[in-house]
Amino acid sequence: MAGVNQIHVGCSGWNYTHWRNGVFYPPRLPASEWLPYYAQHFDTVEVNATFYRLPKLSSAAAWVERTPPGFALAVKASRYLTHVKRLNELGESLDTLLARLRPLLDSRKLGPILWQLPPNFPRDGERLARALDDLPRRLRHAFEFRDESWFVDETYELLREHGVALVVADRAGAPGLRREEPTADFAYVRLHAGSHGGGGNYSHAELGAWKRRLEGYARAGEVFAYFNNDWEGYAVENALYLKNSLGVEWTPA
């Protein structure tokens, strides 16, 4: 489609044991081969493990080695930065995280860094401004706010000044937390749960609506979209359906 940038569709994580039993992974495929298998079907993944613990340098190197050229790994920032420090004085801790991600940086496989704030973190414009000043501009960053007080023009202007994306977060039963405000030259979408498919599953009608939204976002910049409804394996099913309906082609080298 003319004038449309690249759209990446994937899942939030790949290391799920319940994906083995006919959901996605072959039954006897060892866990060490899950990421290479995943990367044969998708060109991106959102790494959520980094939210809970700092990755080992060897782990980041393994992610690079086990994925083909052109694959992108979005990384969720540590909860120590977002939930404990609550964006205060990021410098040294952020440097440590980036040092552990050096293999991704060197291989150019690092996608956007996701900053998901806790739901009990109301708007603090001054703190956000200080945090944004600490972020290295050579990298792409996306912020997911979970308190409605953040969704004001002041927030959008701060994000625009720093080229940081406002995450489009789709949560069933929480429409007030989904805002489609462009603030960067790329879009970051998190699909947490469908409203009509049951058990977090997205219906084909919902996925058709998201197809049109993503195509619209892609007219302005690159798009990264991740399904986080993994508890019953719907993330894989929904992501494959959406990827195919968009006509996204991925031929790993």
Kindly report the three-state secondary structure assignment for every residue of 14-37.
CCCHHHCCCCCCCCCCCHHHHHHH
pLDDT for the residue 4: 63
Q: Are strands 186-191 and 168-170 parallel, antiparallel or unpaired?
A: parallel
* Domain range 7-246, CATH architecture: Alpha-Beta Barrel (3.20)
Under DSSP, is residue 163 helix (H, G, I), strand (E, B) or coil? Answer: coil
Residue 155 bridge partners (DSSP) = none
Domain ranges of the chain: 7-246
Q: With contact defined as beta carbons under 8 Å apart, do 223 and 187 qualify?
A: yes
Local confidence pLDDT in tens for the 253 residues of the chain: 445 689 999 999 999 999 988 889 998 999 999 999 999 999 999 999 999 999 999 999 999 999 999 999 999 999 999 999 999 999 999 999 999 999 999 999 999 999 999 999 999 999 999 999 999 999 999 999 999 999 999 999 999 999 999 999 998 766 666 889 999 999 999 999 887 767 789 999 999 999 999 999 999 999 999 999 987 889 999 999 999 999 999 989 7
The whole model's pTM is what?
0.95
Please identify which residue in the block is written with the tokens 């806790």: 118
Distance, CA of 213 to CA of 149 (rounded, Å): 24
Query: Chain-centre distance of CA 34, in angstroms?
Result: 19
**Token pair for residue 116?**
């998901």
